[in-house]
């Protein structure tokens, strides 16, 4: 099951530049019986090998921008440290709904305006400086949801900074790497997550990640956005499905 999760996460990581946590977290809960907190912590650890493979795949096509990656990486590492500390303090149900909410918000943007034109990319210093606080927020989200942050980073770079889709995905995976290492190691020190499970997942998905990066760099942006949006809707509802059934059951009884 861990190998299968790794293959799925690796394919999504390379295709969409998201790290793969959107698949790892719900599948660890559904297939392996992990609770949400342990699934989130394990997912953050597993993203490291997948991010390395994705960076190699995208960099082979020159689809990484170090000037965007640096402030995002610094901010996201700060945010990941904060988020890992908060993970033990947040109720499991809140984590599930938080994860689902982030997924649905991103999906709405992708499905309502797929293949949106990126505009003109700019490297002005003040625009790059804005990426630092954005990175902090992304790091907190990543640590609490176990998703690496690519689901937020890629749309932010595309819509806010005019970064082309493939370049945004490659840069996102580069940022996810240090976030995974810092947030994952802190989770381990706090007693959260399984390094063994993470390595099975991460190492199993390496080849799938490299393979799908080759498709991603030539994929039609509209198709990419629609597929990603539909995936996020499915994952969001799958994550909170048991909670929704519980709420419906209570309403019937009342």
Chain segment 52-102, per-residue pLDDT in tens? 999 999 999 999 999 999 999 999 989 888 888 888 787 877 877 887 887
**What does pLDDT average to over the chain?**
86
Note the pLDDT tens digit of each residue in 180-203. Answer: 888 888 888 888 889 999 999 999
Distance CA 67, CA 28 (A): 35
Q: Is the pLDDT of residue 170 over 90?
A: yes
CA 124 and chain centroid, separation: 27
DSSP track, 108-150: HHHHHSTT---------HHHHHHHHHHHHHHHHHHHHHTSTTH
Give how many domains the chain has, as a whole number. Answer: 1
Contact between 72 and 176 (Cβ < 8 Å): no
Percent of the chain whose predicted confidence (pLDDT) is above 70? 96
Q: Do the Cβ atoms of 147 and 99 come closer than 8 Å?
A: yes
- Domain, as residue range, for 172: 2-253
Residues whose CB falls within 8 Å of the CB of residue 130, separated by 6 or more in sequence, listed in order: none
Judged against a pLDDT cut of 90, whether residue 116 lies above it is answered with: no
Angle at alpha carbon of residue 229, lines to 13 and 34, rounded to 5°: 55
More confident residue, 117 or 191: 191
- At 3, the pLDDT band (50, 70, 90 cuts) reads very high
Mean pLDDT, range 194-222, rounded to an integer: 92
DSSP sequence for 12-64: HHHHHSSTTHHHHHHHHHHHH---HHHHHHHHHHHHHHHHHHHHHHHHTTT--
Cα–Cα distance, 79 to 81 (Å, whole number):
5
Residue 5 confidence (pLDDT) above 60: yes
Provide mean pLDDT across the span 200-223.
Answer: 91
- Would you say residue 117 has pLDDT above 60? no
Q: What does pTM read for this prediction?
A: 0.83
Residue-level pLDDT at 153: 87
Neighbours of 30 (CB within 10 A): 16
pLDDT tier, 239 (very low <50, low <70, confident <90, very high otherwise)? confident
Lowest mean pLDDT among 64-73, 98-107, 128-137: 98-107
User: What is the C-alpha separation between 80 and 62, in angstroms, rounded?
Assistant: 27
Arithmetic mean of pLDDT, 212-240: 84
């Amino acid at each position: 099951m861990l190998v299968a999760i790794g293959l799925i996460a690796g394919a999504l990581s390379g295709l969409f530049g998201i790290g793969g946590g959107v698949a790892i977290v719900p599948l660890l809960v559904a297939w392996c019986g992990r609770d949400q907190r342990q699934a989130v912590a394990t997912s953050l650890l597993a993203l490291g090998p997948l991010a390395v493979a994705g960076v190699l795949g995208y960099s082979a096509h020159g689809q990484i921008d170090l000037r965007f990656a640096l402030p995002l990486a610094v901010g996201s590492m700060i945010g990941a440290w904060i988020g890992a500390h908060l993970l033990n303090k947040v109720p499991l149900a809140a984590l599930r709904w938080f994860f689902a909410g982030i997924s649905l918000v991103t999906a709405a943007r992708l499905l309502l305006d797929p293949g949106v034109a990126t505009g003109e990319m700019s490297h002005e210093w003040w625009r790059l400086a804005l990426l630092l606080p954005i990175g902090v927020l992304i790091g907190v989200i990543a640590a609490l949801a176990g998703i690496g942050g690519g689901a937020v980073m890629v749309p932010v770079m595309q819509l806010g900074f005019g970064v082309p889709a493939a370049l945004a995905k490659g840069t996102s995976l580069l940022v996810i790497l240090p976030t995974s290492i810092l947030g994952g190691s802190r989770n381990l020190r706090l007693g959260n997550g399984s390094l063994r499970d993470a390595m099975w997942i991460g190492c199993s998905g390496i080849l799938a990640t490299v393979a799908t990066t080759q498709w991603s760099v030539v994929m039609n942006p509209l198709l990419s956005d629609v597929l990603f949006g539909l995936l996020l809707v499915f994952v969001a509802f799958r994550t909170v499905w048991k909670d929704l059934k519980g709420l419906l059951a209570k309403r019937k009884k009342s």
